[in-house]
Structure 1
Amino acid sequence: MAGNGENRAATLQSLMNAAGGAVELLRSAPLGRYVFPKIPPEFTNFRDEMRAWKQGVAMLEQSYHMCELHLRGPQVIDLLSELSVNKLATFPTMRAKQLVMCGHDGHYLADAIIFHEEDDFYRIVGAPFASDWVQYNAGLGKYDVEAVIDLPLSVRDGDRDIYRLQVQGKHALALMEKLTNNNVPEIKFFHIGEMTIAGRKVRALRHGMAGEPGFELYGPWQDQNIIRGAIMEAGAEFGIRKAGADAYSVTGIESGWMPMPLPAIYHSEEMRPYREWLTTNHLETIGSLGGSFVSADIRDYYVDPIEVGYGNVVDWSREFIGREGLEAKRNNKRRVKRSLLWNEDDVMDIIRSSMFAPEGEGGKYMNIPSPMHATFEADCVMSGGKLVGLSNWSGYSPNAGGFLSLALVDIDSAEPGSEVTLLWGEPDSLRPSIENHKLREIRATVAPAPYFEKVIKSGQQ
């Protein structure tokens, strides 16, 4: 891709050079928050759609927006062992893992779900950052691996390989029993099972989102409408709701999963060849960086896999890219992941001022339910006038009764129940999508992440 002469000028590295650095490039990018393709913001209303996965059952659409990378060959595990932190010595077929990768100095690079479906066939599914990094490395020819990208419909049209739907909520299992005529196979957490729905073969990954039990269903693209129709027809008994794009954006906040940390690719010489491969066809190149936290050093925006919550998947018995740096971070842990519950009065004051105060005097406008205004967001979390953390994903949750965000908070300020202050806005913004406004404070209460206790691993229904 980067070797094509007409694309060479549009690489991430060349754009960084022209802008004066990574921070300057990303903080001036006009792109706003991620927009989910092909599905409406709401099918009914986002409040009831969100409540459905806590109180009943919901169907979430994953067919269009997630990137897939298909890996084939006898050395897939060898490639992944170099790139990922995971325990891969045992990875049988019909299993899935949370694939986690870091940069050469141990900062977080990407995570995704990897499905092992046949002896030499794997799918990487999620945001594009993991697929892009693996595809680039597979193309270097070091391993006998074929990598084929299946891009999301946000950047292309046409059929995809498979559809992907999720059924989740306290009635998810009952709905699945009805769909399969009481023939749901016993599927352990993060295992893959097979079943028949409406006469079509379907595979199901057992997991959940927003802390609730669920099944991720997938099969041939041409079967999608038949399966959707069967789910909605059988789900009517349980008051099923289809979740639109607005509702979907909040699932990560409730379940404690950070969807879009900034990948650690923008600073090091080791990553320069990769930056010269990435072009304006990649989100890493055109994505925007926003929020109240401003630093000239791009590394200040990075996170690491330990503090984000992936320490339990790391295989410390072997070498992988970034191992030494990640071990140093493990031994010097300073932040932990927490939920922040925003103060209702402060939120309403900002919303009111953004709409009715004189131009330039109000706070930054908040979209509801997702006030995100950049691809990668970093808002200051303060305590006693000092910076004690960064908040990087936010949204309104009717299940929580307010606005939540996911943040990395200094250990000394992270006790649940502690009071902190979030700074809302984007000072001296270089992005035309950001209106003239004043930085505002939001009081917030520290809470666990995930905000709701998960039951998906215990098998409670």
Structure 2
Amino acid sequence: MTTPSLQDGIDRAGSPVRLLWQPDAEPWTPEVVDREYAGWRVEQRAWHEGVALLNLSHHMYDMWIEGPDATRVLADHGVNNFERFAVGQAKQYVPVTRHGHIVTDGILAREAEDAYLLSGVPAAQHWVKYHAEQGGYDVSFTTDPSTAFRDGGDPRLFRYQIQGPAALELIGRVFGAPIPETKFFHSTPVTLDGRAFRALRHGMAGQAGYEFVGPWEHAAYVHEAFLKAGEPLGLVRVGALAYTTPSVESGWIPSPVPGIYADPELAAYRKWLPLFGIEGKRPLNGSFFSQDIEDYYVSPFELGYGKLIHFGHDFHGRDALLRARHDEGLRRKVTLVLDPDDVRRVIGGGADPGFVLSYARHRVETSSGLAGVTMQTAAIDPVGTVLSQALVDPAHAGPGTEVAVVWGEHPGSGTAPDADLGFPRVRAVVQPSPFDRHARTTYRRDT
């Protein structure tokens, strides 16, 4: 039996939106990791106030890209600067379509002169591999899917993050001394009782930390070492629920809709992609509904990636981004601080709603109508309310602007996009993104 393609799914559904629209879709949470260890509130506070351990080993899709043309294929299809990309460094890799819409981002680590590791949501990996095959680049690929899609066996790599104000103290305890000072998104080799792996300088929600990456055969030993050394410091393991929330504070919008569904020139790409991959199965839902999939596309400028774009080299989508960088009408990324009383009334039914997580595209409105759309929403206990990352029109992006989030699930095709469905409104105030001051100022400047 032939494996159905993404294009097959679109054709059968009648449109990309009909394929993807799923009201009340369950939000994604990491595989294998327990939903909670100490409770999501305690776990959130750990990386703000103490030290937290996060296990990323099971939900990352890894693709190794090796060969004489490895740098060329990545540079030809990504906006990033490859002229200053050292071995041991990592970057947020950003590929775009010919129209300048983001495919998705990923973490790209340079492991050798002609060898890279691209990790994260696999849409970027698919994009690079397809264009490498079609363009005849001299590269090879090795993939290790996330545990949910792996056909048995263990991951190739472990990934543990140590985050929070006490992170460096814990790391010093584990290794017997501070590890070498490392620039943000650069890695340094480390050894623990004869076991070699790498420490990537990384952080979340503006807090200090490292991501430790190494062969799976060392996973249990390294994990236990952190747990044991962290016990006197009150180390908290972070479960799947809390793990999904720091991006709301740090300003990273996960898994935007890839801009690949409508362009006739990408028909062959859609036929190459499997239907049951991320591009065919990541659902759309919320109170914002449009029959046109392009209304869900985003520009890297809207996501705050303008500084990553290096126009000093030719790349796929460069001309479109040159035009877009002067477009004053592009939406702005902001944080919406939802009114706590409205959160209890609308989401909690008058009570504390508890954990809240949504990747729904909810309408953001002012008295004059539609002003934007939410991208990710989560309860942030240290803040005392629910925050939402949103893209809003420039006229409504100023801090202090009062807006409303329309909380509900549009049923999809068959109902007018702007139908009055009686959905309640949650008052909100616009604040900067990243919301965390340290992530927005000192932390970002130091990187």
Q: TM-score, normalised by structure 2?
A: 0.93
Structure 1 residue aligned with 2:332: 336
Contact 1:185 1:194 in 2 (8 A): no
Residue equivalent to 2:51: 57
Alignment of 1:41-440 (within 5 A): 41-140=35-134, 142-156=136-150, 157-334=152-329, 335-353=331-349, 368-372=354-358, 377-429=360-412, 438-440=422-424
Which sits farther off after the overlay, 279-288 or 214-223? Answer: 279-288
2:7 and 2:275 in contact (8 A); partners too: no
- Distance in 1, matches of 2:133 and 2:112, equals 22
Deviation at 1:237, TM superposition (A): 2.1
Shift in CA distance, 113/352, structure 1 to aligned 2, threshold 3 Å = closer
Aligned partners of 1:28 and 1:48: how far apart in 2? 32
Q: State how far apart, in whole Å, the 1-side matches of 2:25 and 2:369 are.
A: 30
Change over 3 Å in CA distance of 1:204–1:367 after alignment to 2: farther
- Residues 162 and 219, structure 1, Cα contact 8 Å, conserved in 2: yes
Cα shift readout 1:214-248 (whole Å, capped 9, x = no counterpart): 10101110111100100111111221101000000
CA distance in 2, matches of 1:130, 1:86: 13
1:439 Cα offset (Å): 1.5
Q: Aligned equivalents of 2:264 and 2:24: distance in 1?
A: 27
Deviating more after overlay: 138-147 vs 27-36: 27-36
Structure 2 CA distance for aligned equivalents of residues 448 and 190 of structure 1: 23
CA distance in structure 2 between the aligned counterparts of 1:368 and 1:115, rounded to whole angstroms = 37
Q: 1:333 to 1:76 in 2, by over 3 A?
A: farther
Contact 1:107 1:304 in 2 (8 A): yes
In 2 relative to 1, CA 407–30 (structure 1 residues): closer, same or farther, beyond 3 Å?
closer
Contact 2:200–2:210 (Cα < 8 Å) also in 1:
yes
Q: How far off its partner does 1:351 sit?
A: 3.0
Query: Gaps spanning 5+ residues in structure 2: where?
Result: 415-420
> Secondary structure at 1:133's aligned position in 2?
helix
- Measured in 1, the distance between the counterparts of 2:23 and 2:276 equals 14
Alignment counterpart, residue 23 of structure 1, candidates 17, 34, 50: 17
Q: Secondary structure at the residue paired with 1:166?
A: strand
SS in 2 for 1:300: helix
- Is the Cα–Cα contact under 8 Å of residues 25 and 285 in structure 2 kept in the other structure? no
Residue 32 of structure 1: CA displacement? 2.9
TM superposition shift of 1:213 = 1.3
Specify every segment of 5 or more residues in structure 1 that has no aligned partner in the other structure, as ranges: 356-365, 432-436
User: What is the CA–CA distance in structure 1 between the aligned matches of 2:338 and 2:430, rounded to whole Å?
Assistant: 9
Tell me which moved more, 343-352 or 172-181.
343-352
Separation in structure 2 between the aligned mates of residue 18 and residue 368 of structure 1, nearest angstrom = 39
Which of the numbers 414, 419, 429 marks the counterpart of 1:445? 429
SS at match of 2:391: strand
SS at match of 2:117: strand
* Cα distance in structure 1, aligned partners of 2:341 and 2:12: 43
Q: CA deviation at 1:354?
A: 9.5
CA contact (8 A) 2:160 2:212 kept: yes
Counterpart contact for 2:344–2:353, Cα < 8 Å: no
1:28 Cα offset (Å): 4.3
- Contact 1:209 / 1:255 at 8 angstroms: preserved in 2? yes
Residues 149-184 of structure 1 show CA distances to partners (whole Å, capped at 9, x for unaligned) of: 110001123112110010011111111111111140
Structure 1 residues 396 and 409, CA, compared in 2 at 3 Å: closer, same or farther? same
Alpha-carbon distance in structure 1 between the residues aligned to 2:270 and 2:23: 17
Report the CA distance shift for 1:367/1:346 in structure 2 as closer, same or farther (over 3 A): closer
Secondary structure in 1 aligned to 2:264?
Answer: coil
Shift of 1:29: 8.1
**What's the CA shift for 1:135?**
2.1
What whole-Å deviation, never above 9, does each CA across 1:267-288 have from its counterpart, x for those lacking one? 1012211110111331111221
Where 1:110 maps in the other structure, the secondary structure is coil
- Partner Cα distance (2:325, 2:196) in 1: 44
Deviation of 1:445 after TM superposition, in Å, equals 0.7
Rounded Cα–Cα distance in structure 2 between residues aligned with 1:129 and 1:31: 20
Rounded Cα–Cα distance in structure 1 between residues aligned with 2:348 and 2:355: 16
Match of 1:139, SS state, is helix
Deviation string 1:328-353 (CA, Å, 9 cap, x unpaired) is: 22111321111101111111112344
Secondary structure of the equivalent of 2:378?
A: strand
Provide the secondary structure at the position in 2 that maps to 1:101: coil
Q: Distance between the aligned counterparts of 2:350 and 2:408, measured in 1?
A: 11
Contact 1:254 1:452 in 2 (8 A): yes
Q: Are the aligned partners of 1:60 and 1:167 in contact in 2 as well (CA < 8 Å)? A: yes
Distance in 2 of aligned mates of 1:246 and 1:28? 21
Provide the C-alpha distance between the structure 2 equivalents of 1:139 and 1:105, rounded to a whole number of angstroms.
21
SS of the residue 2:390 aligns to? strand
* Farther-moved stretch of structure 1 (305-314 vs 378-387): 378-387
Q: Is the 8 A contact 2:9 2:275 kept in 1?
A: no
Equivalent pairs, count: 436
Q: Is the 8 A contact 1:29 1:287 kept in 2?
A: no
Supply the distance in 2 between the matched residues of 1:398 and 1:50 (Cα, whole angstroms). Answer: 7
Residue 31 of structure 1 contacts residue 286 of structure 1 at CA under 8 Å; is this kept in 2? no
